[in-house]
Amino acid sequence: MNQPESDEGLFDHCPWLYAEQASQAQRAAQEQRRKRLLAGAEARVGAGAVRLGEGCFVAETAAVYPDRLDLGDRSYIAAHAYVTGDIRTGADCTVNPFTVVRGTVTLGDGVRVGAHSSLLGFNHGSAPDLPVHRQPVTSRGITIGDDVWIGSHVVVLDGVTIGDHCVIGAGAVVTKDLPAWTMAAGNPARRIRDRRDPRAAGPGGAAAGSAAPVGTAPCPTAPRPADTPALVEALSAFAGAARAQAVEVLDRCWRPDTRRFADRPGAEPTVRAHCDAVEIADLLLGEAPPQLPAAEHVARLRDLQDPATGLIPEYGAPPPVPGPAGVPDDGAAAYHLLCVGYALDLLGSSFAHPVHAVRRTTADRLVPHLAGLPWDDRAWHAGAWVDSWATAAHWNLRLGAEAAAPGALEALFGLLHTRVDRRTGMWGSPTPRDGHLQPVNGYYRLTRGSFAQFGLPVPYAERVIDTVLGHARDPRHFAPGRENACNVLDVIHPLWLCARQTNHRFEEARSWAAAQLTAALRRWHPGEGFAFGPAPDGTGPGRDPGLQGTEMWLAIIWLLADVVGVADALGYRPRGIHRPEPALPG
């Protein structure tokens, strides 16, 4: 419906209504506005200085005095905007009321700039020998990619590049480049999360606040080191080589005689090896391992589950016996609750049965079992048990069954909150022999299955960062040649997880991640994958390349790169056991 002729300010302030609601007289007035803009620019700068695409709108009250303006189709400049300099936009861009766009500014397609924002693609010098008004003006320019939403009252400074698909929260001051898909907020703007994270929300008010767990602060965008281009190039080259060699890596661990996967040549086939192969193929190939049709992978993994308990034995072993609180003490059977469940999930399937051994666990059986776990001297084992139990509860929820008996899941989180050490953020204590190795490694397993998997904030995140960074300097575990996949993963995941809640010591975490990332890329064995690495206690497959080491290091490299701020260069994102998003029930 056309608007009354007297409503002259409507489209200036709400230009998105112009295309459908303007009257013929209002369209004629806009055409005259266009002609005046073109004539004024020609008189000031020269012919061709302004180009307005099809369906554009420029408010009468906007101050538009550019050296060059190329406004893409269906774009608009709203009331009281101030536009000068060399401005180029793609199609469907919006400069909302009271916005300032000055200097050299380039927008991609579909960029929305909120009211009262400033894109300042120029700067003044600040040398002490001249007054400010006599300082030279410089311009490195601002570049904003496609499909970017900039909230109200945002300031973007000269020299900044904002990648495609970013969302910038209201009131942010953007001083550094933001990679594609970043959601950022704050002064200076810090990374909140990847926009593809299903928890992500918009940049305004309460919506932006709800994008992070309640009571938490955003994770910052990692400061980009001076060698970022070289690191990005190295990551891209690594990922390309890994993809090209992925089938070869899988083939060397495939046993045609048994039609099963082994971790490495000469090893016996295991359930975990099959699951590692599924994760590797998903990361590098985007499909099931080519050694079997996808449907056969699904059938083989589903058939492993014992229908009576829901537990998964090793090949050739009898059905596992449930422990007092459901999850057995058998390490392989407990880990199968993670790896088989996530392998099936990656293949678009799920367990055939609920994990009945956990579904029947009551709070009065769970709490004493948790209290009796070896927290003091074997915190990793305690954390691993919690990981397996919580993951089984998660799969039960995903299947539409009860996670456990009423109150058991709540009892788990209640006990974890009451037992955590406020000084360290850990569950468990250091030992004279290994320092914080057991508590830190146990922290990863415990929080992976509980807080991270269920999308809950961890307690005392800043103390966790202090403890983990201190542990990462322990030469017993992190001297050159001593790092293994388990120890590096168990540091970077807590740092990554806690950085979702606090900026505490983030630069130190980023520096550690950058150094580890460079070292990790050198560990790739062409055509063979990654070795797990040396383990003093004999755990893990050791120095020979295999499926477990490859699956773990691929995920570790993504986590390290994400903390550094260059994960996009890999072109993959973990979706299984090491997925960054919570695995909440659908």
**Of 13, 124, 369, 525, which residue is the catalytic one?**
124
Confidence (pLDDT) at 494: 97
Of 352, 351, 357, 349, nearest in space to 330 by CA: 357
pLDDT in tens, the chain (586 residues): 344 344 557 788 888 888 888 888 889 999 999 999 988 888 888 878 899 999 999 999 999 999 999 999 999 999 999 999 999 999 999 999 999 999 999 999 999 998 899 999 998 877 788 888 888 888 899 999 999 999 888 999 999 999 999 999 888 899 999 999 998 888 888 887 888 765 433 333 333 333 333 223 334 444 445 456 788 889 999 999 999 999 999 999 999 999 999 999 999 999 999 999 999 999 999 999 999 999 999 999 999 999 999 999 999 999 999 999 999 987 899 999 999 999 999 999 999 999 999 999 999 999 999 999 999 989 999 999 999 999 999 999 999 888 889 999 999 999 999 999 999 999 999 999 999 999 999 999 999 999 999 989 999 999 999 999 999 999 999 988 788 999 999 999 999 999 989 999 999 999 999 999 999 999 999 999 999 987 655 555 778 999 999 999 999 999 999 999 899 889 999 999 999 888 864 3
d(CA 194, CA 423): 31
Of 551, 522, 555, 534, nearest in space to 264 by CA: 551
The dihedral built from the CA positions of residue 302, 304, 307 and 311, taken in this order, carries a sign that is negative
d(CA 441, CA 485): 11
The answer to whether residue 353 is catalytic is: no
The set of residues, in sequence order, having a beta carbon less than 8 Å from that of 31 and lying 6+ positions away, is: none
Asked if 94 and 111 count as a contact pair (C-beta separation under 8 A), the reply is yes
d(CA 330, CA 315): 14
Q: Which amino acid appears at position 378 of this protein?
A: R
Q: Is the bond preceding 374 in cis, omega lying within 30 degrees of 0?
A: no
Grouping H, G, I as helix, E, B as strand and the rest as coil, residue 57 is strand
Q: Which amino acid appears at position 477 of this protein?
A: H
**Any idea which residue has 């001249």 for tokens?**
130
